[in-house]
């Protein structure tokens, strides 16, 4: 007589066999999506950052987020990481005596943590209701709380650990940087870049920011160069385009070139991101993940569409389980022969 254990084993085996029947021999993933031509983003230069946290406070004000206390006196807004109410944070690398800024040995360095606005974002791919969307023109990854069902798939999918759920509310939402897109119509760009006193965080078109980052990489450490602050004007920007943005047009100043790692983080990582970073300290030591040049969204979407297109997978699994269930059902006559009343 079949036991419950035999039945469950049979169900698992049948489901696996049915699943294997509909999976192609080689899942051919789609190509990784690219950044839009007019993509907007940020360039963060860790060698220019002084850790003042002005960007953190400005982000809180711009997004009307509450303070998060991590000390018993509740006097300071001092979040330890990004959260559903903290979209931007400056973290610190520490080693040994911490005598020298931007040195890996016995030094310290800063690193900005916020949404990277990936060219091919996993959060957008994973969201089943399109609450996460990538603007086709600006490339900004935005969030629609009215569409969100609170599944938190985006939280699990992001390789940077950025989208966070607001667990302190019964109607919690996802919190993340959206490059202050709600302020663009009033001529204001990302608040973190607007207030940065050293230009460590710079706003602009990603292509222009990438060119500026590469310009700095070829300079000799210690020499002086002109560093822009606030917003980087687009190459050959027209006066009418510049007039859309408020604030002082030229806030540039002279600064010394850092001893950079010869790589722009975000240029190729995970298919490319619209937030780029420069650092004198190894990026992984500074807290950034070591990612391949291809977004996992390209592969996962292909597998999902292959398995679930036309309900192939659910139908195949249901058919397999039905067959296993019928095979393991004991006829009534056999029950009686086995001594059942």
Residues 185 and 200 in one domain: yes
User: Under a CB-based contact definition with an 8 Å cutoff, are residues 278 and 258 in contact?
Assistant: yes
pTM (predicted TM-score) = 0.82
pLDDT of residue 300: 76
What residues are paired with 276 via a beta bridge? 43
Residues 184 and 327 in one domain: no
| Secondary structure (H, E, C), 253-288 | EEEECCCCCCCCECCCHHHCECEEEECCCCCCCCCC
Residues 240 and 108 in one domain: yes
Residues 218 and 315 in one domain: no
Distance, CA of 7 to CA of 181 (rounded, Å): 55
Residues 106 and 17 in one domain: no
182's CB contacts (< 8 A; 6+ apart) are: none
pLDDT of residue 69: 85
Local mean pLDDT, 10-residue blocks, the chain (341 residues): 54 50 53 93 98 96 92 80 96 97 97 98 95 97 96 96 92 94 95 97 97 98 96 89 82 95 97 98 97 88 58 62 70 58 52
pLDDT of residue 19: 47
Domain of 164 in residue numbering reads as 40-294
Residues 57 and 88 in one domain: yes
3-state helix, strand, coil in the chain (%, to 5): 30, 15, 50
pLDDT of residue 337: 58
């Amino acid at each position: 007589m079949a036991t419950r254990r035999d039945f469950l084993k049979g169900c698992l085996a049948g489901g696996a066999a049915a699943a294997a029947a509909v999976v192609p021999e080689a899942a051919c993933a789609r190509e990784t999506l690219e950044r839009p031509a007019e993509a907007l983003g940020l360039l963060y230069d860790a060698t220019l950052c002084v850790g003042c946290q002005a960007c953190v406070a400005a982000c809180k004000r711009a997004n009307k987020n509450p303070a998060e206390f991590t000390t018993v006196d509740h006097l300071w807004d001092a979040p330890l990481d990004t959260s559903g109410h903290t979209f931007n944070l400056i973290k610190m690398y520490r080693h040994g005596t911490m005598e020298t800024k931007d040195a890996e040995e016995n030094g310290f360095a800063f690193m900005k943590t916020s949404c990277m606005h990936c060219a091919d974002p996993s959060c957008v791919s994973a969201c089943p209701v399109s609450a996460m969307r990538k603007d086709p023109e600006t490339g900004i990854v935005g969030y629609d709380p009215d569409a969100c069902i609170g599944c938190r798939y985006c939280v699990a999918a992001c390789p940077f650990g950025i989208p966070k759920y607001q667990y302190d509310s019964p109607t919690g939402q996802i919190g993340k940087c959206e490059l202050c897109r709600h302020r663009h119509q009033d001529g204001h760009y990302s608040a973190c870049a607007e207030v940065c006193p050293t230009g460590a965080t710079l706003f602009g078109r990603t292509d222009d920011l990438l060119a500026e980052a590469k310009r700095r990489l070829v300079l000799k450490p210690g020499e002086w160069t002109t560093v822009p602050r606030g917003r980087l004007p687009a190459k050959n920007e027209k006066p009418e385009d510049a007039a859309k943005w408020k604030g002082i047009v030229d806030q540039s100043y002279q600064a010394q070139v850092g001893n950079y790692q010869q790589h722009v983080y975000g240029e190729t990582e995970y298919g490319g991101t619209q937030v780029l970073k420069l650092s004198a300290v190894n990026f992984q030591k500074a807290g950034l993940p070591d990612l391949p040049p291809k977004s996992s969204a390209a592969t996962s979407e292909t597998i999902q569409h292959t398995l679930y297109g036309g309900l192939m997978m659910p139908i195949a699994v249901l058919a397999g389980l039905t067959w296993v269930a019928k095979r393991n059902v004991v006829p009534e006559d056999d029950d009686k022969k086995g001594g059942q009343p």
